Amino acid sequence: MKSPTATLSLPLTRFRLRPIRIAEFSFLVFLIAAMGLPLLFLLTGSFNLAAPGKPAVYGFDNWLRAFTDPGTLNALWMSFLLSVVRLIPAMILSVLFAWLIARTDMPGGKWIESICWIAYFVPDFPLVLAWILLLDPNFGFLNTLVKSLPFVDGALFNPYSFWGIVWVHTSTGGIWFKVMLLVPVFRRLGATLEEAARVAGANTTTMLWRITLPVLAPMILAVSVLSFIRGLQSFNTELLLGTPSGIYVYSTKIYDFLHREPRAYGEATALGSVFLVVLAILLYFYWRYLSGDKKFTVVTGQGYSTMRVKLGNWRYAALAGCLFYVAVMMFLPLTFLIIGSFMRRYGFFNITSPFTLNHWYNMLADPIFLVALKNSLIIATVTAIGGILLYSAIAYLLVSRRTITAPLLESLCWIPHVLPGILLSLSVLWLFLATPLRYFVYGTVWGIAFALILADSPVTTQAFKAGLLQLGADLEESARVSGASWTYTYRRILLPLLAPIAAAVGLMNFGSALTSISTPVLLYSHQSRPLAILLLEYSFTGELERAAALGLLVTLIIGAMMLIGRKLGLQFIRE
């Protein structure tokens, strides 16, 4: 039996002081400049009471106005409630899905995983509208269906309610993102520990509870923190389903200040600071949990087995459960979305000749479309590769106990997760315009990719960090004893072992870059306009069907990228 030896003290134990310090301080300076300073500007700006362009006058009025605005505290409470209520079942389901896909012999796991990937990138706005078509108390398809039953009187479902929002969220954001991040680390687990537990008489549930989950705690906790804050910031679904029933969330308040005329960025930043406080509290507990005598290493140089847990006949029941969930939460609304993109008016089946190819045709014939597609593909590719290179290196430094600024480095990496997208975009705009970068990247696809790489830092860094925590120190030590240089070791041993995570976050960042609107909105020019801005224009002007077609096209591109990845040999990362 191989014991889970190593600890947080990872590969760099024998690293010479100088290179690590140079790397550490280089990254620190970069992150301070790219993330710390803009945050400082924003916070300072939130105390500036003067009108734009006028000499600064400092005071607390913006903060007072923000927090005394009627409804702010109620909205904060509602966001908290929604976030918690969504998070708990979603995390349980995500861990279960990831475990079934990566650690058991459930058939079709790869397909379920692929579906999760595609589901994550289906645009949420038309998907929410699809749920409205299904659940609306007056005309919803499912309500109409159940009303025809003899024992049902009135509508059973109502999307314009607290539970309606929770349900739709489970479909749009729900478990997909979490499964995507968890599956690679579950795969890395290896079967050694589970075999040992089985020999000791543990059943499958005990094994999962006592072995698998504790060892994978860094990633599960990181995903929980990411999801909780993401839940607090959630906005689109609440806007469509909450406003009609008077449910306002905290992000709606921030949005209001951001879009008020004249602008009220000071108030928006003041409200946004709550996310910073929440993050600080969560990070404190996260770090406290990871520190101490915890063991998370699952990949060592002493042998590695990927044998899966055998579920027996339960594997078909598990597959049926997964398929049922996917069918209800994804395929049902997705079907409506696909149909919607071919309808003259989304959801109106009773008009004359309701179906048309015009939206697809008009979208493809739009002269801006091809340029935007090219721009988006460049931006997404650069973002994916750039994010992998940058954050794998930073994560490498973070897991090393030789870095003296790890908490600061990690905190800086979290910043984009607590800044509303438009404020992040504004801060990157300041960064560009205040430095020589303005001459090279402002208004270009490279500038947008740079901003998106910054925006991806929390997820990417945490994913790599969790992956690195699983690797034993003996791997690198063996390589060094055999005479390998650090670069060689990194390239031939660490990187291949990190490949599953790199592929996962790379694809995720590729997809996010294709769909992100708030980050490029202040940075694009006519020449560098990406598809997401085109999507914004379609949505803003009520061209919903064309937006649905474009959203589906983006989903298809991401699906194609996954297939290409597999064809090119990325399947080695799967087993």
Partner 1 sequence: MERLLVFVAIIVLGGFGTGWSQTKVSEKDWAAAVEGAKKEGKVVVFGSPDPVMRNDVIPKFTARYGIAIEFIAGRASQFVSRVETERASGIYTVDVYLAGPDTSANELYKDKFIDPLKPHLAMPEVVDGSKWKTGKVWFADPQDQFIVRAFNSVASWLFINTEHVKPDEVRHIKDLLNPKWRGKISAEDPTTTGAGANMAARIHSQLGEEFVKNLYVDQKTVRTRERRQMTDWLARGTQPICLNCREDDVRPLVKEGFKILEIFEIGGMPSTVNGSPWMLSLANKAPHPKAAQVFANWILSKEGLESYAKGYGSASLRTDIDESYLNPGNIPKKGVKYFDDTDWKWIVGGRHESREKMWKVLKTG
- The residues binding partner 1 (CB under 8 A) are 52-53, 69-71, 136, 138-139, 239-240, 243-244, 246, 255-256, 258-263, 265, 344-345, 347-348, 351-352, 366, 368, 422, 426, 429-430, 433-434, 438, 442-443, 521-522, 524-527, 533, 536-538, 540-544
Nearer to partner 1, 210 or 263 (CB): 263
Question: Which lies closer to partner 1 via its Cβ, residue 366 or residue 477?
Answer: 366
**Shortest spacing between CB 96 and partner 1, in angstroms:** 35
Question: How much is the CA Rg of the chain, to the nearest whole Å?
Answer: 24
Least distance (Å) from partner 1 to the CB of residue 160?
Answer: 9
| CA gap 98, 535 in Å, rounded | 32
Q: How far is the CB of 390 from partner 1 (least distance, A)?
A: 25
List all residues 6 or more positions away from 516 whose beta carbon is below 8 Å from its beta carbon.
421, 452, 455, 532
Other CB atoms within a 10 A radius of the CB of residue 282 amount to 18
Task: DSSP letter for 323, please.
Answer: H
Nearer to partner 1 by Cβ, of 485 and 541: the residue is 541
State CA 220 to chain mean position distance. Answer: 14
- Measured from the CB atom, is 16 or 263 closer to partner 1? 263
From CA 263, how far away is CA 258, in angstroms rounded?
6
Q: Least distance in Å: CB of 371 to partner 1?
A: 12
201 vs 262 by CB, closer to partner 1: 262
Q: Which is nearer to partner 1, 110 or 263 (CB)?
A: 263
Cis peptide before 262 (omega within 30 of 0): yes
| C-alpha–C-alpha distance, residues 57 and 55, integer Å | 7
How near is the Cβ of 554 to partner 1 at its closest, in Å?
A: 18
In angstroms, give the least distance from the CB of 162 to partner 1.
17
Closest separation between CB of residue 137 and partner 1, Å? Answer: 9
Task: Report in angstroms how near the CB of residue 347 gets to partner 1 at its nearest.
Answer: 7
The secondary structure of 380-416 as a DSSP string is HHHHHHHHHHHHHHHHHHHT-TT-S-HHHHHHHHHHH
Q: How far apart are CA 143 and CA 162, in angstroms?
A: 18
Give the residue from 225, 228, 251, 227 showing the smallest Cα distance to 238: 251
Cα–Cα distance for residue pair 520/157, rounded to 1 Å = 37
Residue among 52 and 483 whose Cβ is closer to partner 1: 52
The answer to whether 545 and 341 have CB atoms below 8 angstroms apart is yes
> Which residue number, 352 or 487, has a Cβ lying nearer to partner 1?
352
CB 238 within 8 A of CB 165: yes
